[in-house]
Amino acid sequence: MIPSRRSVLRGAAAASVPLISGVCSERAFASTAAGSHGSGGGPGGARSTLGPNVIVFDPSMSNASIQAKVDAVFAIQESNQFGDERFALAFLPGTYTVDINVGFYTHVLGLGASPSDVVINGHVTVDAQWFEGNGTQNFWRAAENLTIVPPDGLERWAVAQAAPMRRVHIKGNITLWPSPPGNRWSSGGFLADSVVDGYVESGSQQQWLSRNDTFGSWNGSNWNMVFVGTQGAPTQSFPAPPYTTVDRTPVIREKPFLTVDRHGSYQVFVPALRTNSTGTTWAAGPAKGHTVPLARFHVATPGDSAATINRALSSGKHLLFTPGIYDISAPLRVNRPGTVVLGLGLTTLRSTHGNTVIEVADVPGVTLAGLLFEAASHHTPVLLRVGDGCGRGRRRHESDPTVLFDIVARIGGAIPGGAGISVQIDSDDVILDHLWLWRADHGLDGTVGWTVNPADSGIVVNGDRVTAYGLFVEHYQKYEVLWQGEHGRTYFFQNEHPYDVPTQTAWRHGSTLGYAAYKVGDHVRDHRAWGLGSYCFFNLNADIYTDCAYEVPDTPGVVFTDLMTVCLNGAGGGGILHAIDKAGDPVQNGFATYFMKSYANGAAGA
């Protein structure tokens, strides 16, 4: 990414939030909407069923009133990067003429069975004018299950990390960079199970993963553009342009989503598992899967204790988190096969006592989706753990895998805190579908620094046959990815080394300078990865180096395809000395990029 993306936000600049009626809070917004169908109505009553910060719209409301509420949320959330407010804007089946600007911690979702059930005649936009046209900090937002008909033919989704778009049909074109004026940088992103009738213009997007989409065409590239199971994707051409194209998605099921049935009752649809797939689940007819009535969920609201939530889980309930911040003082234990844990509005779960936030047993078919895990104590050994089996004690789950969708970890930025490992996978056959694991490089005063928000590793994978689509891991202080299970597969990796290394002595182990961003365990004999990018920007002018970005055992079964490194140090010193192990040219002492088509058995391939 480009260094000015990481311009540190300090004090009032970071906390500046527009007001509604002179008060800035979720409760204040709910009160301004009181009496409307959007706040208190909807199936079962949005206020009583889903909380005050899920705002439900239906087509009987006037477009003007919907626009006013949508604009009011955006006024709060446009630049509210580290604020406490969380919102979900939910649309009942119907057609709406409205323009939706999507700010921080805002989740826009259609409540139909198909994207065609909710039609937005307008835009669903992420832009960057709040940050002078720089979209590289457009984090923490989402849109899903909609048809978008932009009146000018052009949708704009200029995002960075943790801003997924899923299950949408864009009847027109889409651009992935901000509107002028400004520098127009952007850095993301993730699109899945979606159709774009026209073209996708990547513009300044530095990296991107498209999975199980259908495009009219794709235009442009920067460093690392990956397409898996996508119809209309560009042909494989890495590195000129840097397109990595994998024809089929080996195994996936799509993210569950909230919907309403024909009687107006809420339910959650859980899509079926697919293998060797291309394109979307829904374009050729209704998606395969099953529904779970909301009555079978514990609907959590901020203030629910870990004990309350665990009682619900142990009684056989699924779990739906309504938007907000949850202080979790003991692990939430998911022990029942097939449990769905679904967050709305970028639900944030904070570890307050050094505890794991969620522990998933070694059982099949669990879903975790739409959750932001945050360290709120000095040291949390593991924020999220999946599985409790080690070695031969683990079970096979290939016919009904556990899947993690849109999982975010944040160490620092909003609050000070530290962690050992953000995500640990100890089960076999787990699927990871879009994770951003972030040790903050910028944030509110007192929340960022080498000893203020320490964190060792973003993810440690001990399970076998784990598959990752869209693995974003940044700024951790040791191995950012440590993969120790066999038969692992990664499709798209994006990484930045820690910016704030104070001295080379502080960042080395033995005689090795720094840590690899992606380390495959020395004992592993089978591992494959496609489309990887690792960048460095050491911002303390301390002349910092790392020996390599990727570290793997020298064995024929470990193969990396289409990998790259980037140095963004400007005029400063430091850099990455090798791309993988001892292979690949250095990127150092300024701006530089290096591309490698393949690496296996200790040698780079042409």
Residue numbers annotated as active site: 496
d(CA 258, CA 268): 5
Q: Which helix (H) or strand (E) holds 32?
A: helix 26-32
Residue 302: other Cβ atoms inside 10 A = 18
Q: Dihedral of the CA atoms 417, 419, 425, 430 (nearest 10)? A: 30
- Sequence-distant (6+) residues with CB within 8 A of 493 are 468, 471, 472, 473, 481, 518, 529, 531, 532, 533, 534
b or e along 254-281 (b: 16 or more beta carbons within 10 Å of the residue's beta carbon)?
bbbbbbbeeeeebbbbbbebbeebbbbb
Find out whether 74 and 89 touch, Cβ atoms under 8 Å: no
Quick one: CA dihedral 27, 33, 38, 44, positive or negative? positive
Which tokens go with 3?
């260094």
Find out whether 438 and 408 touch, Cβ atoms under 8 Å: yes
Q: Which residues pair with 170 in a beta bridge?
A: 148, 196
d(CA 221, CA 359): 39
How would you classify the pairing of strands 207-211 and 419-425?
Answer: unpaired
- The DSSP code sequence of 332-396 is EEE-STT-EEEEEEEEEEEESSS--SEEE-S-SS-EEEEEEEEE-SS-EEEEEEE----GGGPPP
d(CA 229, CA 249): 5
| Amino acid present at 314 | S
d(CA 491, CA 531): 6
Q: Which residues pair with 258 in a beta bridge?
A: 268
How would you classify the pairing of strands 124-125 and 100-101?
Answer: parallel
d(CA 190, CA 271): 19
d(CA 225, CA 205): 9
